């Protein structure tokens, strides 16, 4: 008993620093943010804030701009998540077949992942700017257009550039995840399928994909969360222009909190986003479970 109690005390002391950091920098901010969402909390009421109940949530849900930024975030996620997963999976399949220079190829495909979002966003902005590299190429090299195309001056033009960046940045991460999963698939399954006369497509659909279903679900959930949390690329490439039409949830939240000072509104928006992401994650888990059954 004494030894057991002593071990528990030692374990508790070892866990205490990590729990304190987690509580101070994660749990407390979340609870504080949740409380703020029920108050009129802005630059003018930092010291004396007024309880207003669900008014912030009503304002968010009734805001026309919220619907715009939510649709932008949803479209961004629906385009970039399948794009990243499909491209990363195809690259992983190719790398899984080769035997020479495999490490070098992995590094090349993973480089965009470790590239700074700020640097990558500025490069894409330079390429797609009105007087940028792409317009120069189209006008002066291949002579396809006679005037500069304003790629970033429209809602879906700017969103398309951001989505291209998101897919390019995510291919390497998906490649690593899927490559690790592919290497765990037993070769006996492929040999048995070959004996039964299965084609390459049959092996893919009936052996490979079912064997890595857990990895697919993990990537799908993580990328969905990441898609709704996009911030840097939108902020650096379009800045929400024109007229906040290319804003997404996080950039709009940032604008409302630090440009207009409506921290209560921003807090309510953050929890609405959390609920939406939780619902999407549950739906994804349910769909994958049904497919397994």
pLDDT in tens, 1-33: 556 777 888 888 888 899 999 999 989 988 988
Q: Which of 81-95, 130-144, 198-212, 270-284 shows the highest mean pLDDT?
A: 81-95
Q: How confident is the model at residue 48 (pLDDT cuts 50, 70, 90)?
A: low
Q: What is the pLDDT of residue 102?
A: 76
The mean pLDDT value for 185-201 works out to 84
**Quick one: average pLDDT of 163-176?**
94
| Per-residue pLDDT at 278 exceeds 70 | yes
Predicted local confidence at residue 235, as pLDDT: 94
pLDDT value of residue 290: 62
Fold exhibited by the domain 54-292: MetI-like fold (1.10.3720)
d(CA 78, CA 84): 11
Break the chain into its structural domains and give their ranges. Answer: 54-292
pLDDT of residue 1: 55
| pLDDT recorded at residue 160 | 94
Rounded mean pLDDT of 255-268?
A: 89
pLDDT > 80? residue 43: no
pLDDT classification of 58: cutoffs 50, 70, 90:
very high
Q: State the sign of the Cα–Cα–Cα–Cα dihedral 259, 264, 268, 271.
A: positive
pLDDT the model gives residue 176? 92
| Residue predicted with more confidence, 70 or 287 | 70
What is the per-residue pLDDT for 122?
Answer: 93
Report pLDDT for 238.
Answer: 92
Report H helices in the chain. 2-22, 28-36, 55-61, 64-97, 102-114, 117-128, 133-136, 155-182, 187-195, 200-203, 209-211, 213-228, 232-237, 249-258, 263-292
Mean pLDDT across 105-115 = 88
- Report percent pLDDT > 90 for the chain: 40
pLDDT at 86 over 60: yes
- For the residues 55-80, what does the mean pLDDT come to? 92
List C-alpha distances in Å: 259 to 62, 238, 263. 20, 17, 10
CA 196 to chain centre: 41
**Residues 42, 54, 28, 258, Cα dihedral to 10°:** -30
């Amino acid at each position: 008993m004494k030894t057991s109690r002593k071990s528990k005390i030692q374990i508790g002391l070892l866990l205490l620093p990590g729990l304190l950091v987690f509580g101070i920098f994660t749990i407390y901010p979340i609870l504080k943010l949740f409380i703020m969402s029920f108050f009129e909390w802005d630059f003018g009421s930092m010291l004396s804030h007024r309880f207003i109940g669900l008014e912030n949530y009503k304002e968010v849900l009734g805001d026309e701009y919220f619907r715009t930024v939510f649709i932008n975030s949803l479209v961004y996620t629906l385009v970039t998540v399948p794009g990243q997963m499909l491209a990363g999976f195809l690259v992983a399949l190719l790398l899984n077949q080769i035997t020479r220079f495999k490490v070098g190829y992995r590094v090349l495909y993973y480089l965009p992942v470790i590239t700074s979002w700020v640097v990558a966003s500025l490069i894409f902005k330079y390429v797609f700017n009105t007087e940028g590299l792409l317009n120069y190429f189209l006008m002066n090299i291949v002579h396809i257009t006679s005037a500069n195309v304003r790629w970033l001056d429209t809602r879906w033009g700017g969103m398309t550039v951001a989505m291209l960046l998101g897919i390019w940045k995510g291919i390497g991460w998906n490649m690593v995840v899927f490559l690790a999963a592919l290497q765990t698939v037993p070769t006996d399954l492929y040999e048995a399928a070959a004996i039964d006369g299965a084609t390459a497509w049959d092996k893919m659909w009936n052996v490979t994909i079912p064997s890595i279903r857990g990895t697919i679900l993990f990537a799908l959930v993580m990328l969905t969360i990441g898609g709704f949390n996009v911030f840097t690329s939108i902020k650096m490439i379009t800045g929400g222009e024109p007229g906040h039409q290319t804003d997404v949830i996080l950039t709009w939240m940032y604008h409302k909190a630090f440009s207009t000072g409506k921290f209560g509104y921003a807090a309510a928006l953050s929890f609405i986003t959390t609920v939406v992401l939780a619902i999407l994650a549950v739906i994804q888990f349910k769909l994958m479970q049904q497919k397994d059954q």
